[in-house]
Amino acid sequence: MQIYKRTEGAEQPYWPCGPFKIRLPFVHYRWESAETVQALIMFVVSLAMIPLLEQYLGLPYDVALAYIVIGGVGFMLPALLGVPLVPGWITPAIPVVLIFLGNFEPGPDAIRALVALQLLVFAIFFLLGVTRLGSVLVHAIPNSLKAGILIGAGIAAIIGEIEPGGRLAMTPISLVVGGLASVYLLFSLSFKVWVKRHPLVQKIANYGMVPAMVLAMLVGWSVAEYPFPDVQLGITRPAFGELLAYLPWTLGAPSLDMFLIALPTALIAYVIAFGDIIVGTTLMERVDQDRPDEKIDIDVNRIHLVTAIRNLLHAAFAPYPGLAGPIWTAVCATTAERYRYGRDAMESIYSGSGTFWIVGFIALFVLPLVSLFQPVLPIALSLTLLVTGYLCISIGIEQVEETTERGVAGVVAVVLAVHGAGYALAVGAALYLMLEKGGDRLATDAESK
């Protein structure tokens, strides 16, 4: 239950605060039990960033856990400030960010470089949110470049898992079982038919990737690809006292060269993130039509501003290879699907998204849960990247229709996956100018004659 009640067909109650709309659990929306259960398992994906923080930034485990907790604060901000989407990382950009970080030694240099990247991402989101120019910039980018960026990010994500020495080589059984289960539950046409016919299957589908992730973990433990957990009681103790030694306040500000090197990666991350915004807003518009009892306010500029605040939070206190993105697509889609079942199933879209990340944040301090999942963090990250890779390639291919566009997109994708953002943008721009620019106008002139 909550203090403020929504009248039929109105927007969920809130406290106005400039461009934001503040909503609190039990005050403006009710607590949702299904999202509570889902978050107690899916929060492990946020912990899955720890191996990357250790490998690429050189952080000790307890300091990396402190980074995750700060990221958890950021995850709660969108529902608090009036954004209905369930937030996540800019997941398709992670392989591109890792290629960028590969230019720096783990430790102070890599941390400063990542701070530079995250500050640039903050600046892009903030400026485009304030000026309302976000959609103008992204629509100005040719389809072939957007497609190449998405496909390249997807290829890089999958290659990182299946290359020699990758996690497929180390844990083949659990990764194959978990990967196949994930894509089947999320994308299979036959599974969608089962969902419509069988109520039990529908309940399984409501939890998105959770069943596949649990299956992969159980398989990993049963075949000894991952050690059994040493479950401990109590609360976690992130190393906040040591955190300052791994931040720009102590290590120093990034150099100008770092900002220049990071700029192409920041631009690519924004393009990917804007695509996520389009996916999220489309999803909200669809479910808004299914629920006439609530009017969902979907403000793209507010999404930009909240995402900017989250990236600034990370840059200052917890630079993050995943960056701060507008939507966790798998969870947001699952939440939206349950929302469609009516007010009894989910009182408000904000009660679903708000409950999920509040529980996810609390779970970070529950030592039995954290210690249970600690040995299998790599599989959680792997499944997230594999699903993201599939989605990126699928969506990227849909962006292009002409043969020339497909060729440009394919070359950009390969260059991005192998050499990183800077070269990909340069090659893509050159090919677009050489092969595509002016083609539409000439074709139109020829048809008119």
pLDDT tens digit sequence for 401-411: 888 888 989 99
pLDDT at 442 over 60: no
Q: Which tokens is 47 given?
A: 């912990």
pLDDT at 78 over 90: yes
R_g (Cα) of the chain, nearest Å: 22
Q: Is 29 helix (H, G, I), strand (E, B) or coil?
A: strand
pLDDT at 394 over 70: yes
Cα–Cα distance measured from residue 114 to residue 366, given in angstroms and rounded to the nearest whole number: 29
- pLDDT for res 2: 80
- pLDDT for res 81: 95
Give the count of alpha carbons within 13 A of 329, CB side only: 23
Instruction: Decide which of 368 and 38 is more confident.
Output: 368
pLDDT at 438 over 80: no
The strand pair at 15-17 and 20-22 is best described as antiparallel
> Tens of pLDDT along 194-248?
877 888 877 777 677 778 888 888 998 998 888 888 888 889 989 998 998 999 8
A 10 A CB-CB count for 90 gives 29
Which among 17, 22, 31 has a CA at the least distance from the CA of 348? 31
pLDDT at 21 over 50: yes
- Kindly list the distances between the CA atom of residue 226 and the CA atoms of 75, 117, 165, 173, 430, in Å, as whole numbers in the listed order: 29, 33, 16, 11, 46
Percent of the chain with pLDDT over 70: 95
Q: Which residues contact 291 (CB under 8 A, 6 or more apart)?
A: 339, 340, 342, 343
Q: Which tokens is 341 given?
A: 């079942």
Q: Residue 20: in which H helix or E strand, if any?
A: strand 20-22
Check: CB of residue 306 under 8 Å from CB of residue 18: no
How would DSSP label each residue in 49-89?
Answer: THHHHHHHH---HHHHHHHHHHHHHHHHHHHHHT--S--B-
To the nearest 10°, report the CA torsion of 116, 121, 126, 129: 170
Mean pLDDT over residues 421-443, rounded? Answer: 77
Check: CB of residue 161 under 8 Å from CB of residue 382: yes
- Kindly list the distances between the CA atom of residue 86 and the CA atoms of 64, 237, 272, 362, 370, in Å, as whole numbers in the listed order: 23, 26, 17, 16, 22
Q: Is 22 helix (H, G, I), strand (E, B) or coil?
A: strand
- Least confident range of 8-22, 154-168, 321-335, 435-449: 435-449
- pLDDT for res 138: 63
pTM passes above 0.75: yes
Beta bridge partner(s), residue 20: 17
How long is the chain?
Answer: 449
Instruction: Decide which of 60 and 420 is more confident.
Output: 60
> Tens of pLDDT along 140-167?
778 888 888 888 888 888 888 888 877 7
Cα–Cα distance measured from residue 383 to residue 176, given in angstroms and rounded to the nearest whole number: 9
pLDDT at 378 over 70: yes
- Kindly list the distances between the CA atom of residue 48 and the CA atoms of 179, 186, 354, in Å, as whole numbers in the listed order: 16, 20, 21
pLDDT bin (cut points 50, 70, 90) of residue 41 is confident
Instruction: Decide which of 390 and 326 is more confident.
Output: 326
Cα–Cα distance measured from residue 75 to residue 300, given in angstroms and rounded to the nearest whole number: 17
- Least confident range of 75-79, 129-133, 207-211, 431-435: 207-211
Q: Which residues contact 399 (CB under 8 A, 6 or more apart)?
A: 143, 144, 146, 147, 150, 409
Cα–Cα distance measured from residue 84 to residue 71, given in angstroms and rounded to the nearest whole number: 18
